[in-house]
Amino acid sequence: MRLIIVIVSFCLFLLTTPGFAAKVEISAPGQQTIPLAITQLLPIEGGAQPEIAREIHDVLTWDLDLSGLFSMIDPDSFLSDAQRLGLTSSAVDFSQWRLLGAECLIKGGYRLAGDQLTMDVRLFDINGRRLLYGRTYRGKRKDLRLMAHAFADQILKSLTGTAGPFNSSLAFISNKSGRKELYLMEVDGFRPVRITDHRSIVLNPDFSPVGKDLLFTSYKAGNPDLYRKEIYSGQEARISSQKGLNIAARYRRDGRELALTLSRDGNAEIYLMGTDGTIHQRLTDNWGIDVDPSWSPTGEEIAFVSDRQGNPNVFIVKVLSGEVRRLTFEGKYNATPAWNPKGDRIAFSRMEDGRFDIYTIRPDGSDERRLTFGAGSKEHPRWSPDGRFIIYSSDEDGKKAIYVMRADGTGSRRLTPPSLGECSHPAWSASWL
């Protein structure tokens, strides 16, 4: 009896012994871009307007290519499903797209009724055979590009968790009219619009993070004064005309205070000022030149340029305590700091042999990385509101122009055409919608 039990127990033991699992480690994805197919939108009803479909396609392709996430599948290889209006996952033949190796698919339709344009767009996941994101955009025909940009923002959000910055505006200074004036344009460089007529020198714009206005410096009244202009109403007001310099004003993240450089006390120092121009506080007190403030996203610190220790370098001041520490120690001339909206990196430009290049560094001074190389001087880096991209001015093509690149230095492309003259001092607005 005992023997039987022992034998049976042993056999049962064998049955319950699990198979040992072999271990395998995959330490990097084999595919580091997502193959994406962008189809041309089809008319939902009524006649086809191929220019509409083409323009939407162009905007989406430009935006999503800049993002760096995707590798585009050649539209010439699309099969019959590209001609079908697939607005639901049941209406899409996923196997066709899987054949092309696509993992994501953009499809949709449009309807133009007079001046009203409706865009019905979808983002599909081929592997899971399901809809990832869908939205209907309605607006005027002329807002087509903004609608497409807004969709691109949402595509990035569904795939990475953070929305893109494409539905926003860029500001820059151009001397196309013979004088330096302030211009606005879309993120992809389209539709530049001039918004000042000072016929003097306009410099260094900054968007409000909450309202729809811009700060800039202008010599219109014979002195570098600080102006604010509302973008839609066009109303303009001079808010600071202190003796000497009123330059490089930057809004704090909550839009309620600004930091700028004033030299009213005989020396260029960083001041804090209200949006109405009243001086709140003087932040720096040093015989050297203190310019170029850039707020940290928390508003607790400001990065700025100072030559208090010899050559110009980037320093950081704590707003509450006034404590100053030095950020850059390499190189002999470091300027134009810009604090990333996520707070983890500060971009700046370093001059070597007479030309500038753009670097980024952690706020604690570690992990300095160079982003731009080659001929030309690259200055005035500014971040996109999601921290993914950097715009800057570069004269690598002869004249200064505005360029955009990813935060790791890849994917740079020119935004302003030569017909806009010399373009510099870019700024990126918050996302608008």
95 near another protein, rule: CB under 8 A: no
| Of the candidate residues 193, 265, 274, 344, the single one contacting another protein (CB under 8 A) | 193
Residue span binding another protein (CB under 8 A) among the ranges 40-48, 53-61, 76-84, 346-354: 346-354
Q: Give residues 198-257 in contact with another protein (rule: CB under 8 A).
A: 199-201, 203-204, 219-224, 231-234, 244-245, 247-248
Is 387 one of the binding residues for another protein (CB under 8 A)? no
Binds another protein (CB under 8 A): choice among 131, 163, 346, 358: 131
Tell me the closest approach of the beta carbon of residue 310 to another protein, in angstroms: 10
- Out of 62, 97, 137, 383, the only residue in the binding site for another protein (CB under 8 A) is 137
Q: Give yes or no for residue 320 binding another protein (CB under 8 A).
A: no
Q: Which two tokens stand for residue 184?
A: 């606005």
Smallest separation (angstroms) from another protein to the CB of 281: 19
Tokens 């570690």 belong to 366
Q: How far is the CB of 299 from another protein (least distance, A)?
A: 21
CA–CA gap between residue 373 and residue 408 (Å, rounded): 12
**In this structure, how many other beta carbons lie within 10 angstroms of the beta carbon of residue 212?**
15
- The kind and range of the H/E element at 134 are strand 130-140
If the CB atoms of residues 310 and 321 are measured against another protein, the closer one turns out to be 310
CB of 229 closer than 8 Å to CB of 198: no
Interface with another protein, residue 266, by CB under 8 A? yes
Q: Which one, 53 or 108, has the nearer CB to another protein? A: 108
Taking a C-beta distance cutoff of 8 angstroms, is the pair 401, 392 a contact? no
CB of 234 to another protein, least distance (A): 3
Give the residues across from 42 on adjacent strands. Answer: 109
Give the list of residues 6+ apart from residue 281 with CB closer than 8 angstroms, or none.
Answer: 271, 272
For the chain, the first-to-last Cα distance in angstroms comes to 82
Least Cα distance to 226 among 242, 210, 212, 211 occurs for 242
Q: Is 99 in the site for another protein (CB under 8 A)?
A: no
Q: Would you call 299 exposed, middle or buried from its count of C-beta atoms within 10 A (0-12, 13-18, 19+)?
A: middle
Candidate list 77, 83, 95, 177; residue touching another protein; CB under 8 A: 177
Residue 54 CB, shortest distance to another protein, in Å, is 20
303 lies in the site for another protein, by CB under 8 A: no
Alpha-carbon gap, residue 326 to 295, rounded angstroms: 15
Please give the radius of gyration of the chain, using alpha carbons only, rounded to the nearest integer.
Answer: 27
Residues between 37 and 66 that touch another protein (CB under 8 A): none
Q: Which residues contact 301 (CB under 8 A, 6 or more apart)?
A: 295, 316, 317, 318, 319, 363
Near another protein by CB under 8 A: residue from 57, 58, 68, 297: 68
Exposure of 200 in the CB half-sphere (CA atoms within 13 A): 14
Q: Does 90 bind another protein (CB under 8 A)?
A: yes
Measured from the CB atom, the residue of 9 and 95 that comes closer to another protein is: 9
User: Interior CA angle at 395 toward 391 and 419, to 5°?
Assistant: 85
Q: How far is the CB of 92 from another protein (least distance, A)?
A: 10
| # of chain residues touching another protein (CB under 8 A) | 120
